[in-house]
A and B are shown apart, each in its own frame.
Chain A
Amino acid sequence: MEQEVQENRLLNDIEGLSQSNAVPTTIIQPSRGLLSLKLGELWQYRELLYFLTWRDVKIRYKQAVLGFLWAFIQPFLKMVVFSVVFGGLAKIDSEGFPYPIFLYAGLLPWQFFADAVNRSGQSIVAEANLITKVYFPRLIMPVASVGAALVDFAISFGILIAMMFYYQIIPGVSILMVLPLVSLTILCVLGVGVFVSALNTAYRDFRYALPFLVQIWMYVTPVIYPVTIIPENWRWLMALNPMSGIVDGYRSAILGKPFDWPHLGISLGITTIMFLTGLAYFRKTERYFADIV
């Protein structure tokens, strides 16, 4: 095993050198035991990652009459509908903030999560033709899907800014926390998305379960309701869902309510575990993708 890892490292070194004048050497052999995460290889293929992300973004709105406007319309309509149903009719508590902005601050990361997980989950299966015809690090596929979803995520921030003006919410220093929170969200999305893409390839009927699972996930995440609605002694259970800490964190950053640091800390820990697990599962299954896809 030791030797295997070393060899992999050596291989990475050799591939790294190919950028200069050394002869690039490819060694093909069955991989056993613990794999290196081969992130160096991913870096080498960064241009392809960029092209595939660009393609996903381009194709998404290519045939739509309203084109990129959809990236605004979708989250906006969702916000309006949810505000009417949950804020207006059900009168769900919003911790003293106007319900629409309270909702949108949570909907923002959630929409990105749901969208990116759905898209990256399908990515390997949808590109079966490519997977069986040419080699590139398979990880690029789900990562590119997340990248494309990130573009929509960025656009939906525009609505947030408009809403903050409308509700005259002046951001405090806490708004700076949005940046680390976005990184944490991306890490979480990558972990889940990469895991699901591999699972979906190995077990094809998983795709029927996926939208349903994402839906349930939303209801166990404090998107339409505040964390405070959950009884104190059950909060620990909620913290196991990393998205709950993340969503709550966005609210604190945007609306200026105090951060729940322990909750956020647990989210960070679980997100890291999920990311590493997802990546490891992907690495373990990817060598059979071309055979089973």
Chain B
Amino acid sequence: MSNIAIRVENLGKRYRMGQYVGSGAQYKTLRESLTNAVSAPLRRLRRNSQSEIRHPKSSSFLWALKDISFEVRHGEVLGIIGRNGAGKSTLLKILTRITEPSEGRAVLSGRVNSLLEVGTGFHPELTGRENVRLSGAILGMTGKEIDRKFDEIVDFSGVEEYIDTPVKRYSSGMRVRLGFAVAAHLEPEILLIDEVLAVGDAEFQKKCLGKMGDVASEGRTVLLVSHNMASIVNICQRAILLDNGNMVTDGQAAEVVQHYLATARSAGGEVVWPDPAQAPGNDIVRLHAVRILQDGIDGSTAGVDISKEVLIQIEYWNLQEGAHLYPAIWLDDQMGTPVLSSSNATSVSLTEDPWYGHAHPLGLFQSLCRIPGNFLNEGRYTVAAILGKLPSETFVLEREIISFDVHDTGEMRKEYYGGWRGVVRPRLAWNTKRIGSVVRGIKDEN
């Protein structure tokens, strides 16, 4: 057995244009193909998905991944980072065999398990017991293995009492716990993981992190794709940075993360999709623009003053008459640590949003979220824009869609010049009183 667990050689993946952009419009319709077949009779014979992907015109496709080569030793924990669309997920999907590469090859030696979501294959109508078996089988456990570990899995999940209840009656937390319990009992030699750490409550995330640490220390090979820089630095020895489908850096995790933070995130204070057809979203809602604004600055800005309100403006098209839409944001710091999440729901918003809970007519809408001044810390924050329909359907979730830097103007720098510890830096009320005289004896003995 060689020392190399994963060897990737010149791996590349291309998509046809229009296949990769956005969701929704990826598959062809018969009508499209028929029209094409009629209008281009010469190409007709070659007109099927294979010949088209194999002999595409160079202008009509997009490389999601290109010339990726690296090796992972047995027992090594490798992080993969990069901004949205950099090719991280594509790489993982190729290594998990979910999708095929267009060129190059990868060789994995050892039993491979992948975890791209928690609760893979769960069916709401089935009971917890049935779902453990099903999910286990889908993730690659044998029936015997599942039988052997069943009690342990249920124990770990902490949902024993409800194990014979259909999963649709579970709370989302219970479902996640059960799903993770199954995943945690896989015994792969190579584990490929995507962002599963991003789900669940803080306690659950901690449990996942602990389990991941265990897996790593047991000498398993782990490949982890994550937006959370803190977990990359904590768990991985090594990391590779992808940008635009290319490999930028390969090195010690902390250094690669530093490099990423210093260079990868572009700033402009504004993202706009002029063409609705290309914008993230679906038939109901599509994103039009996200901007960072601040009073006293003309137009959008990528740098804001720590002492003033930061305004996050989201514009979106409502494409379905009468949809009850809601916008929301997530704010993460530069290590990927979640700072806050907020929406215009009446119970969440400081001031009541007149459109919340109301049927939206067709049109372009603009929502504004105000984050108070003297609240965020210095440094870079990234915004995720979320659009959904009430009660709880999410149509758009664009992470790291925009970022901005919070600069200290010196207001809080009069007494102290070091970095402030903490994700936020609100100004809190302090008051000190003298509440008594010196205790007899202390002063005397000195």
Q: Say whether chain A's binding surface is mostly helix, strand, loop, or mixed.
A: mixed
A26: which B residues are within 8 A, CB to CB?
97, 107-109, 112
Given known pairs A203-B27, A293-B27, the reply for A135 and B98 (CB within 8 Å) is yes
Is there a chain A Cβ closer than 8 Å to B202's Cβ?
no
Closest-CB distance, B138 to chain A (whole angstroms)? 6
Judging by beta carbons under 8 Å apart, are A134 and B120 in contact?
A: yes
Is there a chain B Cβ closer than 8 Å to A23's Cβ?
yes
Among the listed stretches A56-64, A178-186, A219-227, which one makes contact with chain B, having 4 or more residues with CB under 8 Å of it?
Answer: A56-64
Chain B residues 91 to 109 lying within 8 A of chain A, measured CB to CB, are 93-109
B104: which A residues are within 8 A, CB to CB?
29
A135 vs B99: C-alpha distance when bound (angstroms): 9
- Size category of the B interface is 35 or more
Q: Would you mind naming 25 contact pairs between A and B with Cβ atoms under 8 Å apart?
A: A24-B110, A24-B111, A25-B107, A26-B107, A26-B112, A27-B106, A28-B105, A29-B106, A30-B100, A47-B137, A48-B138, A55-B134, A59-B125, A62-B126, A130-B120, A132-B93, A133-B117, A134-B96, A134-B114, A134-B121, A202-B49, A205-B29, A284-B50, A290-B93, A291-B19
Please pick, from B29, B105, B109, B116, the residue contacting A203 in the complex, using a CB distance under 8 A: B29
Closest-CB distance, B281 to chain A (whole angstroms)? 18
Closest-CB distance, B122 to chain A (whole angstroms)? 10
Chain A proximity mask over B128-163: 1 for CB below 8 Å, otherwise 0? 001001100111101100000000000000000000
Chain A residues 1 to 52 lying within 8 A of chain B, measured CB to CB, are 18, 23-32, 47-48, 51-52
Given known pairs A203-B33, A205-B30, A290-B98, the reply for A25 and B137 (CB within 8 Å) is no
A27: which B residues are within 8 A, CB to CB?
105-107
Chain A proximity mask over B341-353: 1 for CB below 8 Å, otherwise 0? 0000000000000
Closest-CB distance, B298 to chain A (whole angstroms)? 43
B55: which A residues are within 8 A, CB to CB?
none
Is there a chain B Cβ closer than 8 Å to A123's Cβ?
no
- Complex: chain B residue closest to A62, CB-CB: B125
Is there a chain A Cβ closer than 8 Å to B15's Cβ?
yes
Judging by beta carbons under 8 Å apart, are A24 and B109 in contact?
A: yes
Given known pairs A48-B137, A59-B126, A134-B116, the reply for A204 and B27 (CB within 8 Å) is yes
Is there a chain B Cβ closer than 8 Å to A131's Cβ?
yes
B130: which A residues are within 8 A, CB to CB?
55, 58
Please pick, from B15, B100, B110, B138, the residue contacting A130 in the complex, using a CB distance under 8 A: B138
A203 vs B126: C-alpha distance when bound (angstroms): 31
A24: which B residues are within 8 A, CB to CB?
109-112
B100: which A residues are within 8 A, CB to CB?
28, 30-31, 287-288
Is there a chain A Cβ closer than 8 Å to B42's Cβ?
no
Is there a chain B Cβ closer than 8 Å to A157's Cβ?
no
- Complex: chain B residue closest to A24, CB-CB: B111
A30 vs B53: C-alpha distance when bound (angstroms): 12
B50: which A residues are within 8 A, CB to CB?
284-285
Chain B residues 361 to 408 lying within 8 A of chain A, measured CB to CB, are none
Is there a chain B Cβ closer than 8 Å to A292's Cβ?
yes
A40 vs B143: C-alpha distance when bound (angstroms): 19
A202: which B residues are within 8 A, CB to CB?
27-28, 49
The 8 closest A-B pairs by CB, nearest first: A29-B105, A135-B97, A287-B100, A51-B137, A290-B99, A28-B106, A26-B108, A203-B30
A29: which B residues are within 8 A, CB to CB?
101, 104-106
Is there a chain B Cβ closer than 8 Å to A201's Cβ?
yes
Beyond A23-B1, A51-B138, A52-B134, list 13 extra A-B contacts (CB 8 Å): A24-B112, A27-B106, A29-B104, A48-B138, A55-B130, A134-B120, A135-B97, A202-B27, A204-B27, A287-B100, A288-B100, A292-B49, A293-B27
A130: which B residues are within 8 A, CB to CB?
120-121, 138
Is there a chain A Cβ closer than 8 Å to B73's Cβ?
no
Chain B proximity mask over A200-212: 1 for CB below 8 Å, otherwise 0? 0111111001000
Q: Which of A23, A31, A55, A201 has the most CB of B within 10 A?
A: A55
- Complex: chain B residue closest to A133, CB-CB: B116
A291: which B residues are within 8 A, CB to CB?
15, 19, 26, 99
A51 vs B145: C-alpha distance when bound (angstroms): 14
- Complex: chain A residue closest to B107, CB-CB: A27
Please pick, from B94, B102, B106, B110, the residue contacting A23 in the complex, using a CB distance under 8 A: B110
A167 vs B185: C-alpha distance when bound (angstroms): 57
Judging by beta carbons under 8 Å apart, are B125 and A63 in contact?
A: yes
Judging by beta carbons under 8 Å apart, are B114 and A135 in contact?
A: yes
B30: which A residues are within 8 A, CB to CB?
203, 205-206, 209
Is there a chain A Cβ closer than 8 Å to B31's Cβ?
yes
Q: Which of A62, A135, A285, A290 has the most CB of B within 10 A?
A: A135
Closest-CB distance, B44 to chain A (whole angstroms)? 16
B123: which A residues are within 8 A, CB to CB?
55, 59
- Complex: chain B residue closest to A284, CB-CB: B50
Closest-CB distance, B175 to chain A (whole angstroms)? 14
- Complex: chain B residue closest to A55, CB-CB: B134
Judging by beta carbons under 8 Å apart, are A201 and B134 in contact?
A: no
- Complex: chain B residue closest to A203, CB-CB: B30
Closest-CB distance, A212 to chain B (whole angstroms)? 13
A31: which B residues are within 8 A, CB to CB?
100
A23: which B residues are within 8 A, CB to CB?
1, 109-110
Judging by beta carbons under 8 Å apart, are B31 and A205 in contact?
A: yes
- Complex: chain A residue closest to B142, CB-CB: A47
Closest-CB distance, A60 to chain B (whole angstroms)? 10
A292 vs B54: C-alpha distance when bound (angstroms): 16
- Complex: chain A residue closest to B105, CB-CB: A29
Judging by beta carbons under 8 Å apart, are B28 and A203 in contact?
A: yes
Is there a chain B Cβ closer than 8 Å to A136's Cβ?
yes
Please pick, from B98, B105, B109, B134, the residue contacting A133 in the complex, using a CB distance under 8 A: B98
Closest-CB distance, B309 to chain A (whole angstroms)? 40
B33: which A residues are within 8 A, CB to CB?
203
Given known pairs A202-B28, A203-B27, the reply for A136 and B138 (CB within 8 Å) is yes
Closest-CB distance, B161 to chain A (whole angstroms)? 21
- Complex: chain A residue closest to B121, CB-CB: A130
- Complex: chain B residue closest to A137, CB-CB: B97
Judging by beta carbons under 8 Å apart, are B98 and A131 in contact?
A: yes
- Complex: chain A residue closest to B138, CB-CB: A134
Given known pairs A47-B142, A202-B27, A292-B27, the reply for A30 and B101 (CB within 8 Å) is yes
Please pick, from A32, A47, A52, A205, the residue contacting B143 in the complex, using a CB distance under 8 A: A47
A134: which B residues are within 8 A, CB to CB?
96, 98, 114, 116, 120-121, 138-139
A209 vs B50: C-alpha distance when bound (angstroms): 23
- Complex: chain B residue closest to A134, CB-CB: B120
B94: which A residues are within 8 A, CB to CB?
28
Chain A proximity mask over B302-330: 1 for CB below 8 Å, otherwise 0? 00000000000000000000000000000
Closest-CB distance, A224 to chain B (whole angstroms)? 30
Closest-CB distance, B66 to chain A (whole angstroms)? 14
